[in-house]
């Protein structure tokens, strides 16, 4: 097995997954027009994917360890590629949402398996840190390329093209992976926590359904109240099950550590505010300011570019000044940037817009790697991979809730007679307020600790845009 070829394949796989995260946002206005759907449909297009990734990510890492990292990686590539074809051919919003669910399943297998393959191929810590740094760099490129690539593809060919672009990448990954990748597994990997996985997907899914559909069906309708009640019951059952099974997907004992609990709570807020607000960026430029989809994609670039540029330095700053200082400053900047976006309108010139997007990107770039580093530091070294996976999962859960809650705010404002522009202002202000409150929360409770040298080296590998690297070849790698 050629190690360099393995590195190239795993980076390309992660690039494809991360590209899909941002390229879809650029296509939402075109999807809304051609599929004749409203804001609720757009929310489901995004959340159907993120929900499955969030809830299956931890299980995907364990699945790869038990049944073979090569096998799960290639299976994830196949599922993701086939799902992309389904999305591109979708004749209706329902078919597109189904395809996005399938994409989420593929990504939840592909992404942690790619990182597990890297951890196995580079047993020396120094080499592994460099490899994961490249893996993270490709993740950042995927995030940054999404808005521009989406704008170009949608303007030239329509929204199905953003999914078809995955097909040649997936085909190359599959053919090359069959020839290059060697199989590896962990014979002592824990069994899959099937009850926990099912309950988590069902519980968060029920709450998400209530949040997304509440604006159109009515917040007091029996269906919506029933979905919230069912979600709470299922999540309570999840907590009970996780406390009793021998190998839970989410060991609740980890949350007895204040550093772990606070860092993951803050990560939920990061996912909430970042994904929830960016969901509306292209829609603001297209529907409020009347730009083309391509121009909208270009105008949303400052946030992702700022994140890519600043992210490699976040871990180093946290190692020097402590988690609490860097995260607090990052959340404060992000919150202020979002509050500033809450005062833009149709006549706001781009000269007054771009710096707000940059501040938001810098702020969130300063938070993600240190927050995951704090979670890793709170646990034993052998649980570093699991801590990183939990951090990724909490961020994805926050993203699901952000799209649902901020979308509900916009929908409710419109139902009350406000304009879409005013609804967006309320959503941005809400996201900014929550982020600033979290800045105060972390400033008070996130333990300011110096990062150990080994963790410091890994945090500085440029992972903040996707996920921080692992401290050792883990039994539960994550994306």
Q: What angle do CA 283, 284, 286 make, to 5 degrees?
A: 65
Report how far apart the first and last C-alpha atoms of the chain are (Å, whole number).
23
Judge whether 222 lies within some domain.
yes
- What's the Cα-to-Cα distance from 188 to each of 120, 148, 254, 416, rounded to whole Å? 15, 44, 21, 57
With tokens 């992972």, the residue in question is 463
Domain boundary among 184, 215, 235: 184
Q: What is the pTM of this model?
A: 0.88
Same domain, 303 and 396: yes
Instruction: Kindly give, in sequence order, each residue whose CB lies less than 8 Å from that of residue 269, ignoring residues fewer than 6 positions away.
Output: 331, 398, 434, 435, 438
Same domain, 401 and 329: yes
Q: What is the dihedral of CA 461, 330, 114, 23, to 10 degrees?
A: -120
Judge whether 287 lies within some domain.
yes
Residue ranges making up the domain that contains 218: 194-248
Amino acid 20: pLDDT: 85
Q: Are 475 and 385 in contact (CB under 8 A)?
A: yes
Single out the residue of 263, 268, 324, 312 nearest to residue 459, CA to CA.
Answer: 312
Same domain, 38 and 121: yes
Same domain, 224 and 268: no
Judge whether 44 lies within some domain.
yes
Q: How many domains does the chain have?
A: 3
CA distance 340 to 348: 12
Same domain, 149 and 215: no
Domain boundary among 208, 230, 248: 248
Same domain, 207 and 304: no
Judge whether 373 lies within some domain.
yes
CA distance 177 to 106: 16
Judge whether 462 lies within some domain.
no
Amino acid 385: pLDDT: 74
Helices 420-445, 323-341: crossing angle, 10 deg rounding: 170
The CATH number of residue 114's host domain is: 1.20.1250.20
Same domain, 356 and 269: yes
Amino acid 460: pLDDT: 37
Same domain, 302 and 373: yes
Same domain, 371 and 327: yes
Q: What is the dihedral of CA 192, 196, 197, 199, to 10 degrees?
A: 160
DSSP per-residue letters across 26-41? HHHHHHHHHTT--HHH
Amino acid 468: pLDDT: 35
Judge whether 467 lies within some domain.
no
Same domain, 263 and 396: yes
Domain boundary among 149, 184, 219: 184
Judge whether 342 lies within some domain.
yes
CB atoms inside a 10 Å sphere around CB 451: 23
Same domain, 293 and 406: yes
Q: Which residues of the chain have pLDDT under 70?
A: 1, 125, 129, 448-479
Judge whether 361 lies within some domain.
yes
Same domain, 374 and 239: no
Token digits of residue 465: 């845009």
- What's the Cα-to-Cα distance from 14 to each of 140, 166, 264, 292, 418, rounded to whole Å? 10, 12, 23, 29, 41
DSSP per-residue letters across 309-353? HHHHHHHHHHHHH-HHHHHHHHHHHHHHHHHHHTT--TT--GGGT
């Amino acid at each position: 097995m050629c190690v360099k070829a393995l590195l190239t394949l795993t980076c390309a796989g992660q690039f494809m997954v991360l590209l899909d995260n941002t390229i879809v946002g650029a296509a939402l206005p075109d999807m809304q027009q051609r599929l004749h759907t409203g804001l609720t449909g757009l929310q489901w297009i995004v959340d159907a994917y993120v929900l499955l990734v969030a809830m299956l990510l931890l299980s995907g890492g364990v699945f790869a360890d038990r049944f073979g990292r090569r096998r799960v990686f290639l299976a994830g590539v196949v599922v993701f590629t086939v799902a992309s074809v389904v999305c591109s051919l979708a004749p209706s919003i329902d078919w597109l949402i189904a395809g996005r669910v399938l994409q989420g399943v593929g990504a939840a297998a592909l992404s942690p398996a790619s990182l597990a393959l890297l951890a196995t191929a580079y047993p020396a810590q120094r080499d592994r840190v460099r490899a994961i740094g490249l893996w993270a760099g490709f993740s950042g490129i995927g995030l940054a390329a999404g808005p521009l690539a989406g704008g170009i593809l949608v303007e030239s060919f329509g929204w199905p093209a953003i999914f078809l672009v995955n097909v040649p990448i997936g085909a190359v990954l599959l053919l090359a992976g069959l020839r290059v990748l060697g199989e590896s597994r962990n014979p002592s990997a824990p069994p899959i926590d099937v009850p926990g996985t099912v309950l988590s997907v069902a519980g968060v899914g029920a709450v998400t359904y209530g949040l997304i559909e509440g604006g159109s069906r009515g917040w007091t309708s029996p269906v919506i109240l029933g979905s919230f009640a069912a979600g709470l019951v299922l999540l309570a059952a999840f907590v009970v099950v996780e406390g009793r099974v021998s190998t839970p997907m989410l060991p609740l004992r980890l949350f007895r550590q204040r550093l772990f609990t606070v860092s993951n709570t803050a990560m939920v807020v990061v996912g909430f505010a970042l994904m929830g607000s960016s969901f509306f960026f292209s829609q603001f430029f297209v529907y409020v300011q009347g730009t083309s989809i391509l121009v909208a994609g270009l105008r949303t670039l400052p946030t992702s570019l700022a994140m890519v540029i600043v992210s490699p330095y976040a871990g180093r700053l946290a190692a020097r000044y402590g988690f609490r200082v860097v995260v607090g400053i990052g959340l404060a900047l992000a919150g202020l940037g979002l509050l500033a976006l809450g005062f833009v309108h149709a006549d706001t010139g781009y000269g007054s817009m771009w710096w707000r997007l940059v501040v938001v990107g810098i702020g969130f770039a300063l938070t993600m790697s240190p927050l995951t580093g704090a979670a890793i530091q709170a646990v034993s070294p052998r649980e570093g991979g699991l801590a990183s996976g939990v951090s990724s999962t909490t961020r994805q859960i926050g993203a699901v809730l952000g799209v649902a809650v901020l979308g509900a705010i916009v929908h409710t404002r419109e139902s009350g007679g406000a304009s879409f522009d005013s609804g967006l202002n309320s959503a941005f202000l809400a996201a900014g307020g929550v982020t600033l409150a979290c800045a105060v929360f972390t400033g008070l409770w996130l333990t300011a600790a110096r990062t150990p040298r080994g963790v410091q080296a890994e945090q500085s590998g440029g992972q903040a845009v996707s996920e921080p690297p692992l401290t050792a070849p883990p039994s539960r790698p994550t994306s």
